[in-house]
Amino acid sequence: MFDSSGAPERPPGPDGYPVIGSFLAFARDAFAFKTRLSREYGPLTYYSSLGREFYQLNDPELVETVLVHRNEQFGKGELFHDILDPVTGDGLLTAEGDQWRRQRHMVNPAFHPDRIAEYSEIMVEETTAMADSWADGETVNVHSELMSVTLDIVSRTLFGMEVEDGGTISEALDVVMDRVGSPASSLVPISAPTPGNRAFFEAIDDIDDVVDDIIERHRAESIDEDSVLSTLLTARDDAGETMDDELVRDEVRTLLLAGHETTALALTFSLFCLGQNPAAEDLLVAELEDVLGGDRPTMADAPNLEYTEQVVEESMRLYPPVHGILREAKTDVALGGYTIPEGATVNLNQWTLHRDPRFFDDPMAFDPGRWSDDLRESLPRFAYFPFGGGPRRCVGDRFAKLEAKLVLATLYQNRHFELVSEPKLSLLPSITTRPTEPVLMRVHER
C-alpha cells in the first residue's frame, strides 16, 4: 500500500494469511522466522500476527534510536505487559515512568562496583561447593545445576540469605517459561480456566510462597542492612511512605528470577559450546593455569581472565539468553523512512543481529578469539547487545558478567566437561532462550 505521495506506507515483509497473518510461520520456528525477515526484507520489516502489527528492526542504528535516542517515544507496551505482568508484577522489569525511576534508584546501590566486588567470594564459594558435590565421571544436567547455583548466589548476595526451597523455584519457573514460550498460549486468554493456565498460576503462587518466606525471614532475623531487600523494605518516597508489601514482593520476585535465569543460561551455553570446541577449552584452561596458578579465582584475577570473558561473550552472541526486546510506539513515530503507528509493537532482536554476517565473519562458528579490540572498535554499538541498552539497560549487567566469568573459571580450573547430549540444541523462545531438553555433560577431574 502507498500513501497519497506515492511512498510506501509500510516496510516490506511477508504477506501472511488473512486474520492470522504470519502466526503459523512464527509458531513453527520463531527463531527461523525472525532470521528470515532480517535477511530478506532490509533494515525494517513489517508483519502481522493475530491482528497485531509488528515492526522488526534489523539494523543496529535503528535499535539504538529506539533504545537510546528516542526511548521516551517507546514504552514497554501492552504485549510486553501481557507476557510479564503475571510473572513479575510491577517490579523493575515492567515498571515505567516515575515508578521505574524510583525503584531503579533504590536498587542501584546493590550493583555498585564496590558491592559487586564483595559478592565475588560468594560466587566462587557457591560454585566450588556445587562442583565438589559431583563425582568424577558423573553425568549432570548442567542447565539445572547452574540454575541452582546462580539462584543461591543471587539469594545470598542481594537478599542476605539462602533460599530454602530452590527446587520449587526451578520447577515453577519451568512451568511459567513453557507457557509463555508456547505459541498456543497466544490463542487462549490468560483468564480462561484451562489446565495450562491453572498450572501457570499455581506456579506463580509457588514462587510467591518462596518470596514471602524470604521477606518474612528478613524481617524476623538480623539480616545485612546493606542488602537490596533491606533497601526495599526501608526506603521512603518523597511523601515519606515506604513501599507497600505487594510491590516489595514484585521487586523481590523480579530480582530473584531475572537475577539468576539469564546468567545460568549464559553459562549453560558456554559449557555446551566448549564441549564441542576442544581448542577453545584448551586456551581457556591455559589462561586459568597462567592467571590463577592453582589458586581459587578472586575479584583481583577477573581483569586478567580475558579469554574466559571472551568465551562468555561469544556464547551470548551465538545463544543470547534474552533473544529479543519488545517496545510499543506511544505515538506515531518516524523511523527508517516509515511511520511506526501508535500502538504498534517493535521487535529488537539480539538473536538475529548477533548472528548477522554483516557484522560477524562466519557467524555460526563458536570463536571466542573473534572478540579482539579491532572487532570491538569496528562493531556498530547495537550489533551486540545482550544486556539491552539505553536507560533500561539491565541494572545487573556488571554483576552477571563477573559472576559468569568467576563461575566458568572455577568450574574449568580442575574439571573437563564432556558433552553427552545431542550436539544441536533445541531451544524455546520464551521470555528467555531456554533449552527444551536437559543439557547433559559428563564431569571429569583434570
Q: How far apart are CA 388 and CA 229, in angstroms?
A: 24
Question: Count of alpha carbons within 13 Å of 244, Cβ hemisphere only?
Answer: 4
- Residues sharing a CB contact under 8 Å with residue 303, sequence separation 6 or more, in sequence order: none
- DSSP states of 366-417 as a string? --GGG--HHHHHHS-TTSS-TT--GGGS-TTHHHHHHHHHHHHHHHHHSEEE
- Residue 402 inside a domain? The answer is yes
Total number of domains constituting the chain: 1
Mean pLDDT across 240-245: 72
The pLDDT assigned to 133 comes to 97
Q: What is the DSSP letter of 277?
A: -
Q: What is the mean pLDDT of residues 83-103?
A: 86
Q: Is residue 414 part of a domain?
A: yes
Question: Residue 237 — pLDDT band, cuts 50, 70, 90?
Answer: low
Residue 210 belongs to a domain: yes
- Domain holding 248: CATH number? 1.10.630.10
Say if 66 falls within a structural domain. yes
Please indicate, yes or no, if residue 36 is contained in any of the structural domains. no
> Residue 156 is part of which domain span?
59-445
- Is 19 a domain residue? no
All cell numbers assigned to 302: 577477573
Single pTM value for the model:
0.94
Range scoring the smallest mean pLDDT among 175-179, 404-408, 434-438: 175-179
**DSSP code for 66:** I
436 found inside a domain: yes
Q: Is residue 124 part of a domain?
A: yes
The model's pLDDT over 6-55, given as tens digits with 9 standing for 90+, comes to: 446 899 999 999 999 999 999 999 999 999 999 999 999 999 999 999 99
Average pLDDT over residues 343-353: 97
